[in-house]
Chain A
Amino acid sequence: MPVPATQSQIASIDQRLAAIERQVQAGALPLWVFHDQTLYDLELERIFGRSWVFLAHETEIPNPGDYVARSIGNDPFIVVRGHDNIVRVLFDSCRHRGARLCLADKGNTKSFFCSYHGWTYRNTGDLTGVPNIHTAYKALDLKQWGLLPAPRAETYRGLIFASLNPNICPLLDYLGDYRWYLDLHLALSPSGMEVVGEPHRWHIEADWKSGSDNFAGDSYHTQTLHQSIVRLGLSNAAGASGGKNDIHVTECSGHSTSIRRRDAGETYFWGYPEDVYREFFNGSELSPEQFEVAKRSVVYTGTIFPNVSMIHIFAKDAPDNEGAAFFSLRQWKPRGPGKMEAWSWVLVPKSAPAKYKELAYRAAVASFSPSGNFEQDDSIAWAGVSRAARGQFAKQQNITLNYQMGLEGMSDAKVMTDWPGPGIVYDSNLEEGVQRTFWRHWSRTMAGGVYGSVSDER
């Protein structure tokens, strides 16, 4: 078991953290942040204890009584749709002795029963059953002893988030301007998106931040790390960076995005087949500008701070197969310094034909999943970062990594003045402001004081 950090260790981390935001803006990130016990403990407290954290998608629990077991940081919560059809996020711990109530990852129930002493809670969290209540708990007020809800739980277009921080800003403000981009996916089909089955879950010996950092918009790695995909003809979306239509969205309420696009006038919609996009994407839930961006999009990756990322992409499971476009939400759960549990959900337009959904799911498994031809390679690269970060050298010498791309004199990336969406948007993906956005938000949140949305401060 890790030993709790001493005050002096925390003070020393705080001192280092204070410098990081400036370092990052200048294109340098200290390597040690990818593997440090004290820092990890502080992340659980200052980030996962204070931010909005993604838990589930509403379509995972469509019926009254449906529940899934999830976590905020390392705290266990049940996300349950009560018999009253209201979705609640309840702490998975009996109020009597603290034992676990939810023994499954997923299921449907009218009530949660504690196997320790038999206290029983309705699927709304209300305490309804206490053995020997009339002789042993004569004065017990059942209303006071229901399951504890997460201090805040809100949804946005099917995404269920919760926060341990009662004072955090509303989820809408936390997502802030980034909703403009999130809607490109979640509102593309007026029917909404639905999760296929259960999420993939797997362990990676890499820090959770590596996942967030990569999906924040690392457009530079695909041409090297994923070169085999292009060689085999499994995707048209992993080519060289620096395409003339590629853009980076930075500083968008603390979140960021990379979008690869087709030429103006072309219709692609991430590679959905014409019969799907003609029938199911009519733009009724989007502005004309958003619809135009969606129309030209080839690949979209993005990260919502702190640890939920997304990708919208076309892939094939075999070179001579049809292939399909799909949307995936992925979460990098902290499980110790340099350790994460990756979760991945595949989403498809709810109204799409069943045959298309199956094709899209196969494309997703073949590209972004524990066996995904793309994702297999990412986990290897990320593991190397934590391995180098954990030792003496990184911290002693304050080794920093190069995050300079796009800074003055480095590339020709320019801020677009005619871009219709929010954020500071660059006309090239040869820049790393997308990742600097993540680290800037991370260092601010770690330094304390800023919970919730960060203004762009242009």
Chain B
Amino acid sequence: MSADDFALQIRDQFLVEQFLFQEAELLDDFRLLDWLSLLDREIDYRIPVRSTRPQDELDKSFSATTFHMIEHFGSLEARMKRFGAGGWSEFPPSRTRRNLSNIRVGRAASDRLSVKSNLLYFWARDEQSVIVSAERHDELRETDGLLKLARRVVLVDHTTLPLPNLSVVL
């Protein structure tokens, strides 16, 4: 690998990490409308339903047709706005912490980065708390040096979700 390539990779890794950490901070701080500003207008966001499949059908573990969330910009905006319009499930907001690790960055195109990361999502409300574990597959679009989230698939490690609702995105 040339020094230039290496420098570019370091730059991509740095930019992506900063983006994801900032994004996690906005969500954990419940600044949900600010979070929307990190999204590409064409965003495709989904959390497929996972089920345990036999050895010869492992490729079907993540459903192609059923989702815990399947979202576009408008539906995400509606979800986030609902909490300012009397949505009871986040009143008061859950206490959350999105811990990101194993961030793997690749360049898919000159303006596209494909990113895999691991997510440990701590969620607490009242006296209940759980951890949701997942891998995120993201696609970030770069315009004028600014990154936007253009696609996210959250591959959860749960077949039965351990919490009473998924009110805010993972």
Contact = CB atoms under 8 A, between A and B. Distances in A.
A380 B167 CA distance: 11
Contacts of B82: 228-229, 232, 234, 373
A370 B166 CA distance: 6
B57 A108 contact: yes
A199 B50 CA distance: 10
A376 B168 CA distance: 10
A366 B85 contact: no
A228 B63 CA distance: 30
Contacts of B167: 371, 376
Nearest to A205: B128
B74 A203 contact: no
B157 interface: no
B106 interface: no
Question: A201, A203, A228, A373 — which one has the most chain B CB atoms within 10 A of its CB?
Answer: A228
A104 B54 contact: yes
B164 A318 contact: no
A380 B68 contact: no
A318 B80 CA distance: 11
A346 B160 CA distance: 16
A377 B57 contact: no
A126 interface: no
Contacts of B161: 200-203, 370
Contact of A206 (B70, B77, B164): B164
A202 B68 CA distance: 10
Contacts of B51: 104-106, 198
Interface stretch (B5-13, B18-26, B34-42, B86-94): B86-94
A167 B166 CA distance: 41
Contact of A318 (B68, B70, B74): B74
Nearest to A202: B161
Nearest to B162: A203
A371 B170 CA distance: 11
A285 B53 CA distance: 37
Counting chain A residues whose Cβ lies within 8 A of the other chain, the interface size class is 35 or more
Secondary structure of the A side of the interface? mixed
Contacts of A228: 82, 85-88
A227 interface: yes
Contacts of B159: 105, 201
B66 interface: yes
A106 B47 CA distance: 19
- Which label, helix, strand, loop or mixed, suits the secondary structure of the B interface? mixed
A161 interface: no
B163 interface: yes
Interface string A86-127: 000000000000000001111111000000000000000000
A371 B160 CA distance: 13
Nearest to B51: A105
A317 B65 contact: no
B31 interface: no
B78 A317 contact: yes
B165 A225 contact: no
Contacts of A372: 165
B164 A369 contact: no
Interface string B118-136: 0000000110100000000
A320 B65 contact: no
B35 to A, nearest CB: 16
B38 to A, nearest CB: 18
B71 interface: yes
B72 interface: yes
Contacts of A317: 71-72, 74-75, 78
A204 interface: yes
Contacts of B79: 366, 371, 373
Interface string B48-71: 010111100100000111111111
A199 B68 CA distance: 10
A107 B72 CA distance: 31
B95 interface: no
B69 to A, nearest CB: 5
Given A105-B159, A197-B66, A341-B160, A231 B85 contact: yes
B164 A196 contact: no
A397 interface: no
B52 A103 contact: yes
Contacts of A231: 85-86
A200 B164 contact: no
B77 A196 contact: no
A375 interface: yes
A200 B68 CA distance: 7
B160 A380 contact: no
A321 B74 contact: yes
A321 B73 CA distance: 11
B85 A365 contact: no
B53 A319 contact: no
B81 interface: yes
29 contacts: A107-B57, A196-B66, A197-B65, A198-B63, A198-B66, A199-B49, A200-B49, A201-B159, A201-B160, A201-B161, A202-B163, A203-B162, A203-B163, A228-B85, A228-B87, A231-B85, A232-B82, A232-B85, A234-B78, A317-B74, A317-B78, A319-B78, A361-B66, A365-B69, A366-B79, A370-B166, A371-B69, A371-B79, A379-B89
Interface of B: 47, 49, 51-54, 57, 63-72, 74-75, 77-79, 81-82, 85-89, 125-126, 128, 159-167
Closest 8 CB pairs of A and B: A197-B66, A318-B74, A197-B65, A376-B89, A317-B75, A379-B164, A202-B161, A371-B166
Interface of A: 103-109, 196-206, 225, 227-229, 231-232, 234, 317-321, 341, 346, 361-362, 365-366, 369-373, 375-377, 379-381, 383, 387
